[in-house]
Amino acid sequence: MALQLGDTVPNFTQASSEGEISFYDWAGDSWVVLFSHPADYTPVCTTELGEVAKLKPEFEKRNAKVIALSIDDADSHQGWIGDINETQNTTVNYPILADVDKKVSELYGMIHPSISSNITVRSVFIIDPSKKLRLTITYPPSTGRNFDEILRVIDSLQLTDNYQVATPVNWKDGDDCVVVPSIPTDEAKQKFPKGVNEIKPYLRMTPQPNR
């Protein structure tokens, strides 16, 4: 059965470009972004891995670790990392799982049973510190992933976990938020002293509470 949002993600031990990784121990109390690739030396993925290396400080600001996966072995990963560093003008600074036996791919439901596994292993998972799955996106092979969006989702999840708000369409950190429907308007005005704009009884906006 495929992982669903809110499920506890499976633990695993697997080789990587940085040695053997026991996932729960490696993750610790951090958020995790796990993103997978069909094979080494694939062009779109090369650009993605380089971008994530450049964005690693942004993930760290959010207490988030990044870890990639490809179904080739760790020696192959080292050669690919050299190409990524050269062509993307960066230094890959996070592990790439060597999922040769596809153990992790199968645990996380990345492989569609009726399509070539080398095409379908292109997923992103956001996992919170309690090891719960909070987001999953699977991309087609021709479309590079948008890691600014992944950062935006982490911002939203961390905000909405701590305050009784939701984030509206195209929200970015610092924008107004939606007051959740479970809070009556009178209570919301006390809870959010920066103000509540009641557009409709069910649609109420407030400035971002932690700003």
Catalytic site residues? Answer: 45
Other residues' Cβ atoms within 10 Å of the Cβ of residue 100: 14
User: 146 - beta bridge partners?
Assistant: none
* Structure tokens belonging to residue 44: 């779109």
Taken in order 101, 10, 57, 35, the sign of the CA dihedral is: positive
Mention every residue, 6+ apart, whose C-beta is less than 8 A from residue 48.
35, 37, 144, 145, 147
Q: Which two tokens stand for residue 77?
A: 């990963």
CB 81 within 8 A of CB 92: yes
Q: Please name every residue paired with 35 in a beta bridge, in sequence order, or none if there are none.
A: 68, 124
Q: Phi and psi at residue 5, in whole multiples of 5°?
A: -55, 135
Distance from C-alpha of 180 to C-alpha of 191, rounded to nearest angstrom: 12
**Tokens coding 115:** 């399509």
Residue 93, burial from CB neighbour count under 10 angstroms (0-12, 13-18, 19+): middle
